[in-house]
């Protein structure tokens, strides 16, 4: 018969998402050494202890988080390995440990009494030896729309002393809010203009994910959105109504983009019918590509950011403003990283960098806001 004996080992497990410094936890866990390799035995000792306390295999299984069938099979498996009974069960009388089962449990407890204080002492020495080398920044996950303000935030965090960093995944605004809702991100970014009143398409898309009881918002900055055009058109195109001229070739943003939704709302508010705009169905992906299409003469006018227009040497007519928001879960509002983020956004350095971007203005009263206060609906 194969020689069998109990072997103890110590496992180290890193705790996840510790805000300031990573810490290690060391645990004592038994295994049984077999010819095919060691088998973890932690479950059987937990189960034996629960059986002794409850007098029932069913209750013991529930206590340690196992199904009754799995617990029964586990007991029978270990009895076959030990070649002797460890639990007896009688109909109507529940379950109890055999003398050997009781001896196993007592022996395991004695090992823990001796070894666990040693592990705790060794773990303390482990952390003293490493000192500050385990210190790390809290990584805050961001999902949502890109914005120049996010670039400023990331740069400031990278060179600053804040104990946090920003892990960004850029996607659609609604997708970002869904990630926040599903706890795949701590921050979600999106744009909203005052023209997006209740009942607009954007309002309908955002509403399911911006429940007042679940979310708090930070209005980071405002930016201009307007018409980018060839300089020769500066005198003839001054409003969205001028786009109805058949001589003006327009280029739109792609379907489904938040900028196109904003332009549609501006057109509606201006009393212009989209079908009267020559080139309304033509589009380019991204703000930069719209500006380059105008710069290269492929179109006369596009809708986009002042910063892009100035970079490409285009004339610009502002039509509306939109705010850039960060959404976070209401349950995180008192977290240390939120305080650090707000302090950083309020700093003169960050506010100055946002102000330096053409068409941008930092939010003057930056704070956490409830949804009904922050948004126009």
Residues 231 and 364 in one domain: yes
124-168 pLDDT, tens per residue?
777 676 654 555 567 889 999 999 999 999 888 877 666 778 888
295-310 pLDDT, tens per residue?
999 999 999 999 999 9
18-62 pLDDT, tens per residue?
344 556 777 777 887 777 777 777 788 889 999 998 999 999 888
Tokens coding 176: 């970002």
Domain boundary among 103, 132, 161: 132
Residues 75 and 220 in one domain: no
**What's the 3-state SS for 36-67?**
CEEEECHHHHHHHHHHHHHCCHHHHHHHHCCC
**N-to-C CA span, the chain:** 77
Domain boundary among 96, 116, 132: 132
Residue 348, H or E segment: helix 348-355
Separation CA 109–CA 335 (nearest Å) = 39
Distances (CA, A) of 83 to 75, 79, 123, 143: 12, 6, 37, 56
Residues 95 and 13 in one domain: yes
Residues 243 and 340 in one domain: yes
Residues 92 and 110 in one domain: yes
Residues 207 and 311 in one domain: yes
Quote the pLDDT of residue 2. 37
Burial 248-272 (b: 16+ CB within 10 A, else e): bbbbbbeeebbbebbbbbbbeeeeb
CATH label of the domain that carries residue 174: 3.40.190.290
Sorted by sequence, the CB contacts under 8 Å of residue 158 that are 6+ apart come out as 165
State the residue range of the domain holding 82: 5-132
User: Residue 370 pLDDT more than 70?
Assistant: yes
Quick one: 36 exposed, middle or buried, by C-beta within 10 A (0-12, 13-18, 19+)?
exposed
Cα 280–Cα 324–Cα 215 angle in degrees, nearest 5 = 120
Instruction: Identify the CA nearest to 223 among candidates 157, 155, 281, 310.
Output: 310
Residues 155 and 256 in one domain: yes
167-200 pLDDT, tens per residue?
888 888 999 999 999 999 999 999 999 988 888 8
Quote the pLDDT of residue 37. 73
Residues 181 and 124 in one domain: no
Separation CA 343–CA 281 (nearest Å) = 44
CATH label of the domain that carries residue 19: 1.10.10.10
Residues 355 and 213 in one domain: yes
Domain boundary among 102, 132, 162: 132
241-281 pLDDT, tens per residue?
999 898 899 999 988 888 998 999 899 888 888 889 999 99
Averaged confidence pLDDT in the chain: 86
- Provide mean pLDDT across the span 322-341: 93
Residues 56 and 90 in one domain: yes
Residues 244 and 293 in one domain: yes
User: Residue 359 pLDDT more than 70?
Assistant: yes
pTM: 0.62
Residues 214 and 325 in one domain: yes
Instruction: Tally the domains of the chain.
Output: 2
Q: What percent of the chain has pLDDT over 90?
A: 46
Phi first, then psi: give them for residue 50, nearest 5 degrees.
Answer: -70, -35
């Amino acid at each position: 018969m194969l020689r069998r004996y109990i072997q103890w080992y110590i496992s180290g497990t890193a705790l996840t998402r510790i805000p300031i410094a990573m810490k290690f936890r060391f645990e004592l866990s038994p295994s049984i050494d077999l010819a095919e390799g060691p088998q973890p035995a932690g479950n059987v000792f937990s189960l034996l202890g629960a059986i002794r306390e409850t007098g029932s295999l069913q209750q013991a299984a529930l206590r340690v988080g196992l199904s009754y069938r799995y617990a029964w099979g586990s007991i029978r498996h270990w009895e076959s390995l030990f070649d002797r009974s460890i639990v007896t069960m009688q109909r109507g009388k529940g379950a109890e440990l055999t003398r050997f089962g009781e001896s196993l449990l007592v022996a395991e407890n004695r090992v823990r009494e001796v070894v666990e204080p040693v592990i705790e002492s060794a773990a303390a020495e482990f952390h003293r030896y490493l000192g500050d080398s385990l210190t790390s920044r809290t990584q805050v996950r961001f999902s949502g729309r890109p914005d120049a303000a996010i670039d400023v935030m990331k740069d400031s965090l990278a060179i600053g002393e804040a104990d946090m960093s920003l892990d960004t995944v850029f996607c659609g605004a609604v997708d970002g809010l869904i990630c926040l809702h599903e706890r795949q991100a701590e921050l979600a970014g999106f744009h909203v203009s005052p023209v997006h009143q209740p009942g607009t398409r954007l309002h309908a898309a955002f509403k399911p994910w911006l429940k007042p009881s679940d979310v708090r918002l930070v209005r980071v900055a405002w930016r201009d959105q307007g018409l980018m055009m060839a300089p020769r058109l500066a005198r003839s195109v001054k409003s969205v109504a001028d786009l109805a001229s058949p001589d003006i070739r327009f280029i739109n943003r792609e379907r489904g983009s938040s900028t196109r939704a904003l332009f549609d709302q501006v057109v509606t508010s201006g009393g212009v019918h989209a079908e009267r705009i020559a080139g309304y169905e033509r589009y380019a992906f991204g703000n930069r590509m719209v500006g380059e299409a105008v710069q290269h003469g492929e179109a006369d006018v596009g809708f986009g950011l002042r910063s892009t227009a100035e970079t490409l040497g285009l004339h610009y007519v502002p039509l509306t403003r939109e705010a850039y928001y960060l959404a976070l879960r209401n349950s995180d509002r008192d977290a240390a990283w939120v305080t650090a983020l707000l302090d950083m956004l309020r700093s003169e350095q960050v506010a100055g960098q946002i102000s330096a971007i053409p068409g941008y203005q930092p939010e003057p009263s930056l704070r956490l806001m409830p949804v009904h206060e922050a948004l126009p609906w």
